[in-house]
Amino acid sequence: MTDKIKIGIIGCGHLGKFHIKNLIELKKERSDIDIKGVYDINPEKMNAMKNDFGINTFSNKDELFKEINTIIIVTPTVTHYEFAKEAIEKDINCFIEKPITGNLTDAHELLESANNRNIKIQIGHIERFNPALLALENYELNPLFIESHRLSEFNPRGTDVSVIQDLMIHDIDIILNMVKSEIESIEANGVAVITDKIDIANSRIKFRNGCVANLTASRISQKKMRKMRIFQKDMYISVDFSRNSSEIFNIIKDEKSASVQKGFLIGPFEFEKNKIIISYENKTVTDINPMKYELNKFFDSIVKDLKPVIDIESAVDAVEVAHIISGKIQETQIKIN
């Protein structure tokens, strides 16, 4: 689509700093990207980026927009709509950190604005690029039941939205991409503990193909946990996003088939006069930097005119489910009160 990707970054906070680091690394590997500079409403943060990385700074976003054709939006969620809407209307490619917006109305408006425009938009659901999940690419996944736990210690960063938009949205996105079926029903419970928004939530999503997903997210936990368990016919998979590894247990009912299976074999076991063997594999990928990888995929989509891995439609779907979950929790709280 373009000979040179002229990149601007909006947001010089905690996450913005990581984006800048990875962009600088990518610039060493790609001759088609040009980092034009950064903008943040806080001049001190911008100056820190300039001093630390030698990156150019802009005193206002309008000057930045004039110099670029691609923007990386790494600002608080409540400001995503404002910056993305302007960028889209100027036909600027957009990488928007997750979630795409804090509410469903803004998400739909961005989707409508993006229609029929010759630009690429990717949303930063970084867990899709986690090595633990990438390790499953060669497996056929047909989940019957999924259980996810995403728990973290309290951190004021990210509390401009509820734990559903902040943490659970990761697993919503992954599960929607994995199951690929329409949703039949959603149940949810949650409570605000420290902030004035939901800090801990649980949701049960039932899909029309029979799969059920049980999601728990908390930002007030004592210990961190980022795990997903996937159950399907003859297979159980445990995904540990924190350790970048997945464990795969595969049931083999044919001893001849077992001899060609990879991994460690357990058994055989007798079950209903049949012999069952379980193969076990621990898949660990250590040479992938998820943020660098997702940015690289985004730039590839621009240069090669490919569909972004996580496009705006997928991101809006995740926000829609998050919106329903939030609504269900509000309904429950009204009934209690």
- Residues of the chain falling short of pLDDT 50: 1, 259-260, 337
pTM: 0.91
CB 204, CB 212: distance < 8 Å: yes
pLDDT at 272: 63
Rounded Cα distance between 279 and 141, Å, is 16
Q: Which domains does the chain have, with CATH numbers?
A: 5-126+290-311 (3.40.50.720), 129-286+322-335 (3.30.360.10)
Structure-token pair, residue 326 = 């939030």
pLDDT at 261: 56
pLDDT at 1: 45
- Kindly compute the dihedral angle of the four CA atoms of residues 13, 316, 172, 20, in this order, to the nearest 10 degrees: -20
pLDDT at 268: 64
The residues pairing with 280 across neighbouring beta strands, listed in sequence order, are 249, 264
Rounded Cα distance between 107 and 324, Å, is 14
Q: Tell me, what amino acid is at 176?
A: L
| pLDDT tens for each residue of 230-269 | 999 999 999 999 999 999 998 886 655 554 456 667 656 6
pLDDT at 287: 80
- Kindly compute the dihedral angle of the four CA atoms of residues 129, 130, 135, 140, in this order, to the nearest 10 degrees: -60
Rounded Cα distance between 43 and 39, Å, is 8
The CB density around residue 305, as the number of other CB atoms within 10 Å, is 11
Structure-token pair, residue 88 = 């889209």
Rounded Cα distance between 226 and 216, Å, is 10
Rounded Cα distance between 234 and 2, Å, is 47
| pLDDT tens for each residue of 163-189 | 999 999 999 999 999 998 999 999 999
